[in-house]
Amino acid sequence: MTNSTEFQQVQRIGIIGGSGLQQLPGLEDIRLVEIETAFGQPSSPVTLGTLNGVPVAFVQRHGVGHTIPPASINVRANIAALRHVGCTQLLSVSAVGSLSHDAPPGSFVLIDQFIDRTIQRDKTFFGPGLVGHVPFGNPVCGRMHAVLAKSVKTTDVQALDSGTYVVMEGPQFSTRAESNLYRQWGGTVIGMTAMPEAKLAREAELCYAMIAIPTDFDCWHESHEDVNAALVAQRMADTFTLTRRLVTEAVSRLGKHRGACPCGCDRALDTAVMTAPEHRDPAMVDRLLTVAPNAMHLRSNKD
């Protein structure tokens, strides 16, 4: 891993873009950083720069050229890399299918809840020798979510200020029966990448929020064609200008945040660890501290 000392003087906004944001125009003072984390390599080099004067760090979720399928994304490394360069807030942008008439293609949804249906992914920084359970009832940072809501009004884009993201395993799209089931569950949108991203951000004591961009009506809507990859790509191209405008406005506002998070995101590990201090694996603790550097209280007296 590269020396993190040079990055710690600057608080950055981390941005993870997928199908909905594969590049970040408007960046200045650009620098690419190759990082090897304790959890492996992130999906792409980390792009450092400033957006409207705010320091940011950008990772392409699926890799350069969209080469990494959803279940193979090394989310732990992505989170660790963004932490490494000084990120304290994480803004995620994701293309999704809509499960609701209220979230038509081309609009935006400010996600505040998730239903996790994934089964193949590494979902925690904890493990044998260090057992932890973070609170996750409110998976999105309320302070960040409020900023996104204000940014929507400023940029005058069509958006729902709340929504539930159903995270499917993929890589295939839904069957019609599944799509209708998720609608009955109260899902607003469906996609393949929000988990374990949100869970790992909480374990890393990062504030986290997500902008979801519906590109289609999945396969439940009888009056619209079923989703396919070409349709998703075209719709994302169509909404790119609005996406860029919303992200830029949100970053400008998020960059003003200082001090402790009022929602406690930055203190998520204070009450999370079950393992008694004398039984904690020092190597596991050290590895966790690379993504949650403020959790030094987890070291036992013997360390």
Q: What is the pLDDT of residues 124-175, one digit of tens each?
A: 999 999 999 999 999 999 999 999 999 999 998 899 999 999 999 999 999 9
> Residue 303 domain-assigned?
no
136 annotated to a ligand binding site: no
Average pLDDT over residues 257-268: 95
Q: Could you read off the pLDDT of 39-74 as tens digits, one per residue?
A: 999 999 999 999 999 999 999 999 988 899 999 999
At how many degrees (to 10) do helices 142-155 and 229-254 cross? 100
**Catalytic residue positions, numbered:** 216, 218
> Residue 180 domain-assigned?
yes
125 annotated to a ligand binding site: no
What range defines the domain where residue 255 resides?
A: 7-298
Work out how many domains the chain is built from and give that number: 1
Share of the chain above pLDDT 70, in %: 93
CB 291 within 8 A of CB 126: no
19 annotated to a ligand binding site: yes
CB 115 within 8 A of CB 203: no
CATH number at residue 169: 3.40.50.1580
Residues 6+ apart with CB under 8 A from 52: 26, 248, 251, 252, 255
Q: Which sign, positive or negative, has the C-alpha torsion 180, 184, 187, 191?
A: negative
> Which tokens hold the place of 83?
């932490």
pLDDT of the residue at 2? 57
pLDDT of the residue at 303? 47
